[in-house]
Structure 1
Amino acid sequence: MGCVGVILKHPDDFYPLMKLKIAARHAEKQIPPEPHWAFCYSMLHKVSRSFALVIQQLPTELRNAVCIFYLVLRALDTVEDDTSIPTDVKVPILTAFQHHIYDCDWHFSCGTKNYKVLMDQFHHVSTAFLELGKSYQEAIEDITKRMGAGMAKFICKEVETINDYDEYCHYVAGLVGLGLSKLFHASGSEDLASDYLSNSMGLFLQKTNIIRDYLEDINEIPKSRMFWPREIWRKYVNKLEDLKYEENSEKAVQCLNDMVTNALMHVEDCLKYMAALRDPSIFRFCAIPQIMAIGTLALCYNNIEVFRGVVKMRRGLTAKVIDRTKMMADVYGAFFDFSCMLKSKVNKSDPNATKTLSRLEAVQKTCRDSGVLNKRKSYIVRSQPRYNSALIVMLFIVLSILFAYLNAKRPNN
């Protein structure tokens, strides 16, 4: 009933959700027959369903390169994230990872669930990597080398200052932006974007994830992962873990708002990067995660639930973003709407209110200056519409038919 309740509350989610479900099934049927490629695409669907859907729309050659790039970096990230691996074992693996992708016999057991499968059967990824074009291989190798070295550096170094924070995010995500720009260029579809703008694309996504994942990271066993910079959180509490305790709720929210305000500094660069893209499939690939990020920040801002559990966009809203994002006008509209949502939550008594509002107004000005806001469909429901009982009954009937159809299509065990 939970799912039905959400759809009844947001009935316009229904159609995008159905389209997303159909697209997901279609994508799963497109998995290549070769064992190594079948493994790679199956694994991609398991570790990131929404990302896999967006990748699936890319041209075949570029799609393969981005798929392998993503899995290589997920494997690298799995090694970094596994706090049970001793530092003297972890660091050499990270710094030599660019060599491992050429070795079809290499694997390293770590991580959990699907990530453990990825690491145990990494030879499939290496085999597929070796079938990519030379320019794609060189781009992936270069970024893997630089990222591994950066991750190794921060294994032995805490994130103290905001500069440290930006440097860490550069290594784990900004370099992903640089790598993707290189892959887009290697495909012949795009001009090579500047490193600065490519880096901002990665930093905005990574900072959003770090903000959203506070509780998961701080509760990591056997050792907490702490990515919020001391320079920010020390203004509010003595220890980063103190933010999760109820008695520190007011200070925790102020610290959270400070972190969100820091992330907003990258938005204008992201809009500039996306506005320069020419290929529609590459544009959607880049734009959808960025819209998800600004939407997530809007939900997280001033929200104590970040320190209590998981805060994320509802699936229906995610489906809307995927369905509606087709051109730059859609991006400007989404960023304008979510920045309005965030702006409405700013409390003038917040220590960073002035800075937050200034950054949001700059984002909104960029969106207004585009001259295309009138072409968007709003992501914000300003007044809850009243749906009559007939519509509710119709929704139940449609849902019942749909669920019966999907159940009938499932293979018998």
Structure 2
Amino acid sequence: MRPSSLALQDRLLPGVSRTFALTIPQLPMALRPAITNAYLLCRIADTVEDSTAMAPDDKDAHYQRLLAGLNDVSAARKFSEALLDTGLIQDPLERDLIDQTPGVLRAFGELPVDQQAALQHCVTTMCQGMADFERLKDPYGLEDSGCLRDYCYVAAGCVGEMLTRLFAGIHPRIHEQREEFRRLSLAFGQGLQMTNILKDVWDDRQRGICWLPRDVFEARGIDLTQTQNWQDHPGYRDGIRFLVAVAHHHLRLAQDYTLRIPASEVGIRRFCSWSIGMALATLRKIADNPGYTASGEVKISRRRLGLIVATNNLSVGNDTRLRGVFRLSRYRLPCVQEQEIGPLLAGHDGNI
């Protein structure tokens, strides 16, 4: 990738994600440009999804223009101009990202062909899946657990698959076990996405969106379409604890994924273990206070983040120490048996 493209990516990344601006530099140099580019492309797609005032057909048109830009850099400017012309992108950092999309897509075209293929599959899956889910959005949640599982795949599971392809491209041992890594990557993505959904449930509701599966709560005596003040209902709080347990189950598989990565790949292990540690710490705060009504109530502190980073950095090069850190990170979290998870078990129905 050209120095000017690297510089553009490095400038844009901290503005749209402080977390990834911390974790991506931990990766081997051979992966950093591609994974930075992938995150920026996913964030560009998210900017379309987050525009709640935009009609589903209009969003679909923006997604298609973005996908066209993967193969034709001249089409990228059409995407930027059309999206900015809606007047719906108000955040200055997001406007800058959309304005610079042609440069991000130009950088994509400078990646090795095999890395381009992995990114293109991921971004295509995400854009097409988000377009489908746009028509299922509801302030009272998704219809059932299967819908949540499939949403987690298009929002995060496909990212796990992409990262696995990129990791396998630089390490023979990961390549040899790529199918097992791919299976675990779906759980990894779902665990992280479920954590984000739970953390942001009240912020999302203010935007007229809810990703909670209604069947989980109906089984506990609460109809999300009819009940006011969900947080006051015992069945709602029990449903939240169940979803925490399901996310916890998937993050345990994410820990298995991380331990399968050769200990010599300290950077990749850091990249994975930091995100798992932050997610588990968030789940613990949610489990301790399932009646929370704002994301700020369950957000982890900077001090906790620093502790997560420090303990993982001390242990990633040694399997025994890393297993110990992982056990401590799961302490006192709600658990669920795999057979109780049902349609929420990681994966997708193949129709996405």
Do they superpose with TM above 0.5?
yes
Q: What does residue range 239-388 of structure 1 map to in structure 2 within 5 Å?
A: 239=224, 242=227, 244=229, 248-278=232-262, 279-304=265-290, 306-310=292-296, 311-326=298-313, 327=316, 328-342=319-333, 356=335
Query: Structure 1 residues 357 and 193, CA, compared in 2 at 3 Å: closer, same or farther?
Result: closer
Residue 163 in structure 1 maps to residue 146 in structure 2:
yes
Kept in 1: contact 2:70–2:105 (CA 8 A): yes
Kept in 2: contact 1:244–1:252 (CA 8 A): no
Structure 1 residue 118 displacement after superposition: 0.7
Query: Structure 1 residues 119 and 240, CA, compared in 2 at 3 Å: closer, same or farther?
Result: farther
Kept in 1: contact 2:48–2:59 (CA 8 A): yes
- Matched with 2:10 is 41
Q: 1:334-393 CA deviation, whole Å, 9 max, x = no partner? A: 3322332435xxxxxxxxxxxx3658xxxxxxxxxxxxxxxxxxxxxxxxxxxxxxxxxx
Structure 1 residue 146 displacement after superposition: 1.4
Aligned length: 312
Residue 125 in structure 1 maps to residue 94 in structure 2:
no
TM-score for the superposition, normalised by structure 1? 0.70
- What is the CA–CA distance in structure 1 between the aligned matches of 2:170 and 2:236, rounded to whole Å? 45
Q: 1:75-120 CA deviation, whole Å, 9 max, x = no partner? A: 1111112111111110233255332234434213254332222112
- What is the CA–CA distance in structure 2 between the aligned matches of 1:79 and 1:241, rounded to whole Å? 30
**Residue in structure 1 matching 2:21, options 33, 43, 52:** 52
Amino acid corresponding to residue 138 of structure 1 in structure 2 = A
- Matched with 2:118 is 139
Query: Structure 1 residues 68 and 338, CA, compared in 2 at 3 Å: closer, same or farther?
Result: same
- What is the CA–CA distance in structure 1 between the aligned matches of 2:227 and 2:13, rounded to whole Å? 36
Identify the range of structure 1 (326-335 vs 45-54) with the bigger mean alpha-carbon deviation: 326-335
Q: What does residue range 67-146 of structure 1 map to in structure 2 within 5 Å?
A: 67-95=36-64, 97-105=66-74, 106=76, 107=80, 108-109=83-84, 110-111=88-89, 112-146=91-125
Kept in 1: contact 2:245–2:333 (CA 8 A): no
- What is the CA–CA distance in structure 2 between the aligned matches of 1:258 and 1:69, rounded to whole Å? 32
Query: Structure 1 residues 292 and 138, CA, compared in 2 at 3 Å: closer, same or farther?
Result: same
Query: Structure 1 residues 317 and 33, CA, compared in 2 at 3 Å: closer, same or farther?
Result: farther
- What is the CA–CA distance in structure 2 between the aligned matches of 1:123 and 1:244, rounded to whole Å? 44
Q: 1:122-156 CA deviation, whole Å, 9 max, x = no partner? A: 11201211111111111101111112111111111
Structure 2 residue runs without a partner (length 5+): 339-352
Identify the range of structure 1 (175-184 vs 37-46) with the bigger mean alpha-carbon deviation: 37-46
Structure 1 residue runs without a partner (length 5+): 1-31, 344-355, 360-413
Quick one: percent identity of the two aligned structures? 27
- Matched with 1:15 is none
Query: Structure 1 residues 244 and 74, CA, compared in 2 at 3 Å: closer, same or farther?
Result: farther
- Matched with 2:223 is 238
Q: What does residue range 391-406 of structure 1 map to in structure 2 within 5 Å?
A: none
Structure 1 residue 271 displacement after superposition: 2.3
Question: Which is bigger in relative contact order (C-alpha 8 A, separation at least 6)?
Answer: 2
Kept in 2: contact 1:162–1:231 (CA 8 A): yes
Kept in 1: contact 2:149–2:190 (CA 8 A): yes
Q: 1:301-350 CA deviation, whole Å, 9 max, x = no partner? A: 1414632442111111111211221324454333322332435xxxxxxx
Kept in 2: contact 1:288–1:321 (CA 8 A): yes
- Matched with 2:199 is 212
- What is the CA–CA distance in structure 2 between the aligned matches of 1:115 and 1:62, rounded to whole Å? 24
1:225 is paired with a residue whose SS is coil
2:26 is paired with a residue whose SS is coil
- Matched with 1:198 is 185
Work out which of the two has the higher radius of gyration on C-alpha atoms and give 1 or 2: 1
2:52 is paired with a residue whose SS is coil
Moved over 6 A (4+): none
TM-score for the superposition, normalised by structure 2? 0.81
**Residue in structure 2 matching 1:173, options 156, 163, 170:** 156
Query: Structure 1 residues 302 and 53, CA, compared in 2 at 3 Å: closer, same or farther?
Result: closer
